[in-house]
Amino acid sequence: MWHKRTAELKAGCRYKRCTTVFLWLLCAHSPHLLLPTKSIMSSSIILITGGNTGIGYETVKALYTSSQPYTILMGSRSLEKADTAITQLKSEVPESKNEVVAVQIDIEDDESIEKAFKEVQEKWGRLEGLVNNAGAAFDAIMLKDPSPKGMRAAWDKAYSLNVTSTQVMTHTFAPLLIASSNPRLLFLTSGLASLETCAKGMDSKLASGPPPKGWPKPQSMASTAYRSSKTALNMMMLYWKKTLEVDGVKTFSISPGFLATGLGGVGPDVLRKVGAGDPGLGGALIRDVLEGKRDGDAGVVVSQNGVQPW
């Protein structure tokens, strides 16, 4: 299936290149004709899942303000929310040479993923970047319901969204990356996902240390389901690195740092009080990776300060 889709996409790209050359020659001999100022053949096409909020939104904003040419596809479960986010973006950044387009996509819905793939395939034919940003933490479910039922719900939801859905999303869109001459594939992970950091007891600022002796243990926001799902995501990244390296796809996990987003359900204000940074730092890091500034770190977990331990 991949081979068929990739062949079709490459053929489409060749057609578009021929069309571009023809239009250029036509305009050269007919000065009254002008080429489009925002040609999709000169812009990098970047799709960001969960792009209407949090680090996803900050990534859209970072690309929108970049001096490099981009067509930014803001993936969102709701087109209405994406349109609202785009309106906000344009109020914050009144002038930009880049373009942002809303794309409806729910990565937990296979039909939604396939529909979005066909839309991107038909309109652009390729992707220079896929940023797997959509994700969430569900550990708060266990605080409200510490029973096995609550535990199962929290862990199942974390793995369904952060791992399984991201895998399906990447598998579906891989042919569009292969159709590009300079593609990058990004997975948003977490500092909490580091096995080495956890083994050394260097937990997050939200951690309260080991629980007291005895059973049952008191409930705490240890984010065990979330961090485990992100560790699994790092293994998935390595799988995709190995799978797509021969096709020229550079693959990364991105650990944006402890930032004030709505991810954990506690709210940005609470996180700021315990030292969380501005989400814009995450957007800037992702932009740097997409623009090739961290290509030497392909295949590992990229962080603000270098490379995150496994």
Cα 230 to the chain's mean position, in Å?
A: 13
pLDDT of residue 278: 74
- Cα dihedral 188, 191, 196, 199 sign: negative
d(CA 298, CA 252): 5
Q: Is 206 helix (H, G, I), strand (E, B) or coil?
A: coil
Q: Which residues are known catalytic residues?
A: 190, 226, 230
Is the pLDDT higher at 121 or at 17?
121
pTM as predicted: 0.85
Class of domain 38-307: alpha beta
Residue 143 has pLDDT above 50, yes or no: yes
Banded pLDDT at 115 (limits 50, 70, 90): very high
The answer for residues whose C-beta is within 8 angstroms of residue 114's C-beta and 6 or more apart is 172
Could you state, in order of their start, the residue ranges of all structural domains in the chain?
A: 1-35, 38-307
Tell whether the model's pLDDT for residue 246 goes beyond 80: yes
d(C-alpha 106, C-alpha 135), whole Å = 11
Residue 31 has pLDDT above 50, yes or no: no
